[in-house]
Amino acid sequence: MEREVVAALGKGEPDEILSSAFKLRVTRQDVHTLRKLCWLNDEVINFYMGLVMERSKKEGYPSVHAFSSFFYEKLTSGGYKAVGRWTRRVDLFDKDIILVPINLRLHWALAVIDTRKKTIKYYDSLGQGGDKICETLLKYLQEESREKRHLKLNVSEWTAHSMEPHEIPQQSNGSDCGVFICKYADYICRDKPLTFTQTHMPYFRKKMVWEILHQELL
């Protein structure tokens, strides 16, 4: 496994496709964002979210839908109309967990909608608040419910808030936010407590390379 990871992170054509699934292609250049202290790009984040979704089809896992990292920006710039068609083939309210990776230009964060608990939580490895993001997503859910189910969402049953820095693992450098949101997603979608720390990041980066190459989560 180590040999494969080293080879993928080594020299070669930047445009060489090392893995493709979920209508996505990951090139050597994309995989190189998993080198230590590099910022993960959209391709790696979206591919990893695809792997989390794929695993959720197995027995014993909560059902998961993950939006693309471009979803939230599209929602905020164009409103519900701009993203209404994104769920043509999926009933969000039939899923247990909905993942929304959020690209804040120089930082990655994750919003998690749990339809079982009726919660929207914002996970930020730098401890920044995202209450406004949670509110935007709750409004989106209201519109989605009205459009797709012709049902009014009972907002009073829902809670939406940012996770406090002491509640979730935090990064201590300026480059691991992407890995943090991938691991938040991984643990949350197994209903596991977030027990990892900054010290696990070099290992997680290597592990993610292998998982992307083999298109399966370990």
pTM, full prediction: 0.93
Task: For residue 161, report the phi and psi dihedrals to the nearest 5 degrees.
Answer: -160, 165
140 part of a folded domain: yes
pLDDT of residue 163: 96
75 part of a folded domain: yes
Tens digit of each residue's pLDDT (9 = 90 or more) over 23-59: 999 999 999 999 989 999 999 999 999 999 999 999 9
Is the pLDDT assigned to residue 105 strictly greater than 90? Answer: no
Q: What is the CATH number of the domain that holds 68?
A: 3.40.395.10
User: What band does 94 get if pLDDT is binned at 50, 70 and 90?
Assistant: very high
Percent pLDDT > 90 in the chain is 97
Rounded to 10 degrees, the C-alpha dihedral 86/87/88/90 comes to 150
pLDDT of residue 78: 95
Percent pLDDT > 70 in the chain is 100
Q: Which domain holds residue 101?
A: 2-9+40-214
22 part of a folded domain: no
Query: Under DSSP, is residue 119 helix (H, G, I), strand (E, B) or coil?
Result: strand
Contact yes or no for 217/204 (Cβ under 8 A):
no
72 part of a folded domain: yes
Is the pLDDT assigned to residue 110 strictly greater than 90? Answer: yes
24 part of a folded domain: no
Please give the Cα distance from 202 to 204 (Å, whole number). 6
The residue type of 68 is S
Is the pLDDT assigned to residue 98 strictly greater than 90? Answer: yes
51 part of a folded domain: yes
The residue type of 150 is H
Average pLDDT of the segment spanning 117-135: 96
Which of the residues are catalytic? 107, 124, 177
Q: How many domains are contained in the chain?
A: 1
Tens digit of each residue's pLDDT (9 = 90 or more) over 136-195: 999 999 999 999 999 999 999 999 999 999 999 999 999 999 999 999 999 999 999 999
114 part of a folded domain: yes
* Crossing angle of helices 2-9 and 201-214, rounded to 10°: 90
Average pLDDT of the segment spanning 57-70: 95
- Return all residues near 183 (Cβ < 8 A) that are at least 6 apart: 169, 194, 196, 200, 204
Beta strands at 159-162 and 119-123: parallel, antiparallel or unpaired: parallel
Average pLDDT of the segment spanning 67-95: 94
Continuous segment of H or E residues that includes residue 137:
helix 131-144
pLDDT of residue 103: 93
Average pLDDT of the segment spanning 95-119: 96
